[in-house]
Structure 1
Amino acid sequence: MTERVATTPGLFPLPDWAKDTLSDLKGHQKGDLLSGDEGAEITETYDEVRGELVEDQLDAGLDRVGEGQGRWDDMIAHPLTIHEHVETGGIVRYYDNNNFYRDPRVVGELTPSGDVAADLEAAADVLAGDAPLQAVLPGPYSLADLASDDYYGDESEFLAAVAEFLAGEVEAFPAHETLFLLEPSLIENPPATDTEERATDAIRTVAEATDAEVVVHTYWGALDEKLYAHLVDEAGADALGLDLVAGDRDATVYNVQEYGSTDSLALGLVDGQNTLVEEPATIAERVEWFESQVPVESFETTYLTANTELFHLPSNKATEKLAALAAATEVID
């Protein structure tokens, strides 16, 4: 019987009070922020934000609770933009939407920083065992895609270095139940034909660094058929995340019908960029529709999640979507 797990890809919106407080504090401390040295007041504010985001997830009834990534101003580029061997360039567009981030330019060796691990340790303290902890990282392919390489000098070597860097970060993590690797670039800027193995090798490097369940979450459309097959067979993931909100759902279903799937799947069922809050029954119907289309009697685990990170939403809408996901697991059962 399939286990239903309600969770999210993380990157929650900041509460309104925190936006105002952090904007004021950061305006007086710009020079320190690029190195990750945020100062006591900013650190304390982020601690409060983390506590609130964790409590929101617990209150909603999610089965996996993440740190929330409140500090990730640069979205999934964050682990690089705070690195000592990365220079942040100008502001650039984040994929094809109206989100922006600082361009990370790698100018030295990418060694693990422990930054994400420290945030997860703090989240684990807040959780105090009330729910399993979920870690979130950018996938290596997407992180390399968002960055500029001014050090390694070879595209393949750079991707491998980013993967090793992320694997080193994971090795410092506290105990966690799941690890979501966010890989939108696999759809937005997929690897060239016959280079798919580089991407899957990089993902496998990170996946092998943890004993947790690894979800490679893709979004904003359907994967190319050949790349999909490589991910299922070679990436070392326990679950592949599929977007059932954006893009061609029929193409996504076809991939599963034609090439099989990982033992578990993560289904992007609520819209992370639309304020309309889906009803639990609607979410359940989407799961049932998908499962009726694919030749698998049951998956080990089906993760019910948002298709994208939730940063783009007002805080109240994000928390309502969390509750809807959690409630949907009961409707299906």
Structure 2
Amino acid sequence: MSKLVATTPGLFPLPDWAKDRLSDLKGHQKGDLISGDEGDDIVAAYGEARAEVIEDQLDAGLDRVGEGQLRWDDNLAHPLTVHDNVETGGIVRYYDNNNFYRDPQVVGDLTFSGDVAAELEAAHDVVDDEAPLQAVLPGPYSLADLATDEHYGGEAEFLDAVGDFLAGEVEAFPEHETLFLNEPSLVTNAPGDDTDELASEVVDRVAAATDADVVVNTYWGALDEKTYAHLMDADVDAIGFDFVAGDRQQTLYNINEYGTKADIALGLVDGQNTLVEEPETVRERVDWVQEQIASQDFETVYVTSNTELFYLPVNKAQQKLAVLAEAASLNEVKA
């Protein structure tokens, strides 16, 4: 029987009170760059908001609790936009939706930052052993895809450098049970022939920097066959699949044709739609996927939303947390 683990890909919506307070403190509108060198009042506001979203996850009963990534105004590009050797360009549409971020333009070496590690240290203190901590990062391929290289001089060289940068960041993380590497660009802008193997290698490199269980979380559709085959070469514990958006049959074909890891993450709750699913419906979807992959029993099934939750109003995100937790606790996955 599989163990069901309720979790999310992170990036929670910022509470309304925090938006208002931070807008006043920073003197700019929502969506502007977080500089990484906030004053004490801003740090305190984010700390209060972080504690709130952690409490939301604990109250819902999630099996893994994340930091929330509330400072990530630039979405998955955040680890670069706060780096000293990165300049921010103009506003860019974030994948294919109405969210935006400021284009990180890498103009120097991607040296160690420690920004995300500091966030996780703060979260670790709040969680205080009440639940296992989950770290969240952009995957190296997606982070490179969201950025502009003005320093390394080539696509492969830049991707290689981003992989080294993220591996160094992960090495500084406090103790964590799982690491979600969010890799939507593997779906939306698949690697070409000159980088497809390297894309898998740098994922492997980042995963090797932690002793935690690593989930490479893909979403906004299905991976193409070649990309999936290369991703399977990465030494990770689980690959995440989007069963809300895109071609489910392509996803199932990839899994049944090439196999998958011993664990699996299933994006079964819509992270962009305010309609709140019933826990029984989500649990039925878990069973349905398992039935379609009859050749493999999974040790762990991560039950998640298919995308980050920051697209949702806070109350809807909270409700979806409860749905994920209840769906995972209903009963065992069928063998």
Quick check: 1:89–1:105 contact (8 Å CA) kept in 2? yes
1:23 positional shift: 1.2
**1:307 aligned onto 2:286:** no
Are positions 1:294 and 2:293 aligned together?
A: yes
Question: After superposition, what is the alpha-carbon deviation per residue over 1:50-76, rounded to whole angstroms, capped at 9, x for unaligned?
Answer: 000100000000000000001000000
The answer to whether residue 196 in structure 2 is matched with residue 199 in structure 1 is no
Extract unaligned runs of 5+ from structure 1: none
One-letter identity of the residue aligned with 1:249: R
Shift of 1:35: 3.7
1:252 is aligned to 2:251: yes
Instruction: Name the residue aligned to 1:278.
Output: 277
Output the amino acid matched with 1:132.
P
Distance 1:194 1:300 in 2: 34
Checking the alignment, whether the CA contact within 8 Å between 2:33 and 2:74 is kept in structure 1 is: no
User: Quick one: which amino acid aligns to residue 14 of structure 2?
Assistant: L
Q: What is residue 174 of structure 1 aligned with on the other side?
A: 174
Mapped partners of 1:112, 1:332: distance in 2: 44
Quick one: distance in 2 between partners of 1:88 and 1:169?
20
In structure 2, the partner of 1:242 is 241
TM-score by length of 1: 0.97
Matches within 5 A, 1:1-333: 1-27=1-27, 35-193=35-193, 195-232=195-232, 234-333=233-332
291-300 or 259-268, larger mean C-alpha shift: 291-300
Q: Is the 8 A contact 1:75 1:101 kept in 2?
A: yes
RMSD of equivalent CA atoms: 1.5
Q: CA deviation at 1:297?
A: 4.0
Partner amino acid, structure 2, of 1:36? G
- Structure 2 residue ranges without an equivalent (≥5): none
User: Letter of the aligned partner of 2:54 in structure 1?
Assistant: V
Q: CA deviation at 1:295?
A: 2.9
Give the distance between the partners of 2:28 and 2:133, measured in 1 at CA: 34
8 Å CA contact 1:35–1:84 kept in 2: the answer is no
Q: Return the alpha-carbon distance in structure 2 between the equivalents of residues 29 and 302 of structure 1.
A: 39
Amino acid paired to 2:114: G
Decide whether the 8 Å contact of 1:34 with 1:88 is kept in 2.
no
1:296 deviates by 3.2
CA–CA distance in 2 between the matches of 1:165 and 1:281?
Answer: 41
3-state DSSP class of the match of 2:72?
coil
Q: How big is the shift at 1:25?
A: 1.2
C-alpha displacement at 1:332, in angstroms?
3.5
- Once the two structures are TM-superposed, the CA of residue 34 in structure 1 deviates from its matched residue by 5.4
Q: Which shifted more, 322-331 or 32-41?
A: 32-41
Structure 1 position 255, deviation (Å): 1.0
* Letter in structure 2 aligned against 1:295: A
Structure 1 residue 251: Cα displacement? 1.1
The SS at the match of 1:332 is: coil
Distance 1:109 1:319, change over 3 A: same
Offset of residue 2 of structure 1: 1.0
Question: C-alpha distance in 1, partners of 2:34/2:293?
Answer: 47
Q: Give 1:194 deviation, angstroms.
A: 5.5
TM (norm. structure 2) is 0.96
Letter of the aligned partner of 1:152 in structure 2? Answer: Y
217-226 vs 32-41, which moves further: 32-41
* Counterpart Cα distance in 1 of 2:327 and 2:24: 39
Task: Count matched residues.
Answer: 331
Q: Distance in 1 between matches of 2:260 and 2:329?
A: 24
SS at match of 1:179: strand
Separation (CA, whole Å) in 1 of partners of 2:180 and 2:189: 20
Q: CA deviation at 1:29?
A: 11
